[in-house]
Chains A and B, each alone.
Chain A
Amino acid sequence: MSAVQAARVPGERAVNGRILRLVKSGPELRALEAGQVDAVLDRATGTAHLLPEAERALSAAGGPIVNSLLAALPREDYRSLLGELEPVTLTSGEVLHEPGERIRHVYFPNDAQVSLLIVMADRKALEVGLVGREGMVGIALALRAEASAVRVQVQGSGSALRMNAASFREALGRSLPLQHELLRYAYAKLIQARQTAACNRFHQIEGRLACWLLMTRDRVRSDRFYLTHEVLATTLGIRRVGVTNAATTLQRRKLISYQRGNIRILDGKGLSAASCGCYDIVRNLAS
């Protein structure tokens, strides 16, 4: 199931080098399109660009579509982690961690989506973060803490690779690239927390909904996804009727379609313009 084997990269120099961005008609993209290499890593965004065949082969094998944090590691470092990574299927609703609990595993989602929630004294939960293939669940461990104050709950079913806490600490100790990748990611999380604090204070529901839909699109890599009113209400910390009103407005402006939880982004640019702007800020600061 090794993702490295499946996503074999003969053009290794390109992977270990620092490609700043895949340039249109640049050598990396040409090599990718010509089928000379199976994958190119874009270090600027932490994205792995896979050849369609490689992507298909991976999903056909039931194997992981490479998590971006793992994909951004040099091959040797990645390979040394493989023995400790265990593929798991995460099911929507499953709770991976309760506030204050000792973190037992870290998770690198592939196509699963995981919510970080703050549980309020009145038992209400409010989403404060979202982790998908771009990230890792359990980043507190990389910051040398044993626990974190959030509830971690699976929001979109899918696959992930997990590693137990002890192995993870060991891996972190021996791989400098892993440390750097995770610090960068932790910093992105911090930027996100900061932005959410300001966004919650200043921005209107409609703009926040638009922002959140764009973030979800990035994580699932699709313009279509499923989200109930209830999930959206929890996420945005508003009542369900507020979600209905905001979604209706976005729908009327032909930016999205929304039917019984099935969301489709019709006009990404328009949605971005309708969003509160926090989406762009986080992306720019954290990349």
Chain B
Amino acid sequence: MGTSLFFALNAPKDNRLLAALPEEDYQALLPLLEPVVLPLGMALYEAGGVQGYVYFPTSGIVSLLYVLENGSSAEIAVTGCEGLVGIALFMGGETTPSRAVVQSAGHGYRIKAAALKTKFEAGGALQYLLLRFTQALITQMTQTAVCNRHHAVDQQLCRWLLLSLDRLPANDLVMTQELIANMLGVRREGVTEAAGKLQAAGLIEYSRGKITVLDRPQLEARVCECYAVVKQEYDRLLPATVLESA
């Protein structure tokens, strides 16, 4: 795909942070943005790696995973077109603490770490948006911590489905049980049981690695409060536009 066609199909402004920038700031950033394809399973970072780029997804979902020494992992947070991947860079971390993996295929733009850092240090609307996004991300991680401790696997699955759906254009998710188990950090049988419950209740349909949400309102009724807390924080913290470059 040629670059111009890519731009036409996946405009940088499909990313909500980029879209929220004042036009002047956006134009200044534009020449630095490189289009990238984010195929399913691609690792943007490994834990402890050096960070070359920061990613602004325009579609798809990137999952931040905590990896244990024995190789098992759990999802700490998800990011889609509402945010960026790679905050360690401007927060002063030297390496990326988490593994970042594309959980649902999509597209996006990347920018060289050094270039973004310079823009961030200059302050203004970009810095404002990136910091507020960081606060939202901290909230999501914190809530995940609580959810992991307190809530039943089927509620966690509801949370995970809803957070994912909010970042996808349709009501379908292509997902194997194994992948979900990895994301939630639980055993496969736990996922099978939880998905079975939701299917029996008519909330989702699950067949051959594809989950279709049939009844979103019911899913929202069943989910633990963690979903609403995170969603509210994201809505509150991430404005549609920042008017001033200050």
Please, what's the 1-or-0 string for A129-157, where 1 marks a CB less than 8 Å from any CB in chain B? Answer: 10000000000101111011110000000
Q: How far is B87's CA from A150's CA once the two chains are assembled, in angstroms?
A: 22
Q: Given A126-B149, A143-B131, A183-B92 in contact, is the A197-B144 Cβ separation under 8 Å?
A: yes
**Chain B residue at smallest Cβ distance from A140:** B135
Q: Tell me if B119 is interfacial: C-beta within 8 Å of chain A.
A: no
The answer to whether A126 touches B131, judged by C-beta atoms less than 8 angstroms apart, is no
- Tell me the minimal C-beta distance from A137 to chain B in angstroms: 14
Q: Given A144-B131, A144-B132 in contact, is the A197-B93 Cβ separation under 8 Å?
A: no
Interface centre among A149, A183, A187 (most CB of B within 10 A): A149
Q: How far is B123's CA from A180's CA once the two chains are assembled, in angstroms?
A: 12
**Chain B residue at smallest Cβ distance from A190:** B138
Q: Tell me if B139 is interfacial: C-beta within 8 Å of chain A.
A: yes
Q: Which of these, B66, B92, B98, B150, contacts A184 with CB under 8 Å?
A: B92
Q: Given A144-B135, A197-B66, A198-B66 in contact, is the A118-B92 Cβ separation under 8 Å?
A: no
Q: How far is B232's CA from A196's CA once the two chains are assembled, in angstroms?
A: 22
Number of A residues contacting the other chain (C-beta, 8 Å)? 36
Name the interface residues of B31-80: CB closer than 8 Å to any CB of A.
64, 66, 68, 72, 74, 76-77
- Tell me the minimal C-beta distance from A205 to chain B in angstroms: 11
Q: How far is B188's CA from A273's CA once the two chains are assembled, in angstroms?
A: 31
- Tell me the minimal C-beta distance from A37 to chain B in angstroms: 28
Name the interface residues of A199-230: CB closer than 8 Å to any CB of B.
199-202
**Chain B residue at smallest Cβ distance from A125:** B146
Q: Given A187-B88, A187-B91 in contact, is the A145-B145 Cβ separation under 8 Å?
A: no
Q: Tell me if B175 is interfacial: C-beta within 8 Å of chain A.
A: no
The answer to whether B135 touches A145, judged by C-beta atoms less than 8 angstroms apart, is yes
**Chain A residue at smallest Cβ distance from B91:** A187
Q: Tell me if B141 is interfacial: C-beta within 8 Å of chain A.
A: yes
Q: Tell me if B229 is interfacial: C-beta within 8 Å of chain A.
A: yes
Q: How far is B64's CA from A94's CA once the two chains are assembled, in angstroms?
A: 35
- Tell me the minimal C-beta distance from A40 to chain B in angstroms: 22
- Tell me the minimal C-beta distance from B177 to chain A in angstroms: 18
Contacts of B132 in A (CB 8 A): 143-145
**Chain A residue at smallest Cβ distance from B66:** A198
Q: Which of these, A126, A128, A180, A202, contacts B74 with CB under 8 Å?
A: A202
Q: Tell me if A22 is interfacial: C-beta within 8 Å of chain B.
A: no
Contacts of B244 in A (CB 8 A): none
Q: Which of these, A187, A193, A196, contacts B93 with CB under 8 Å?
A: A187
List the 3 closest pairs (A to B, CB-CB), nearest first.
A197-B145, A187-B91, A198-B66
Which residues of A pack against B, CB within 8 Å?
A: 118, 120-121, 124, 126, 128-129, 140, 142-145, 147-150, 180, 183-184, 186-187, 189-191, 193-202, 237, 285
A144-B135, A183-B91 are known; give 5 further A-B pairs, CB within 8 A: A147-B236, A149-B232, A191-B93, A193-B138, A194-B77
Which residues of B pack against A, CB within 8 Å?
A: 64, 66, 68, 72, 74, 76-77, 87-88, 90-93, 97-98, 128, 131-132, 134-135, 137-139, 141-146, 148-150, 185, 224-225, 229, 232-233, 236-237
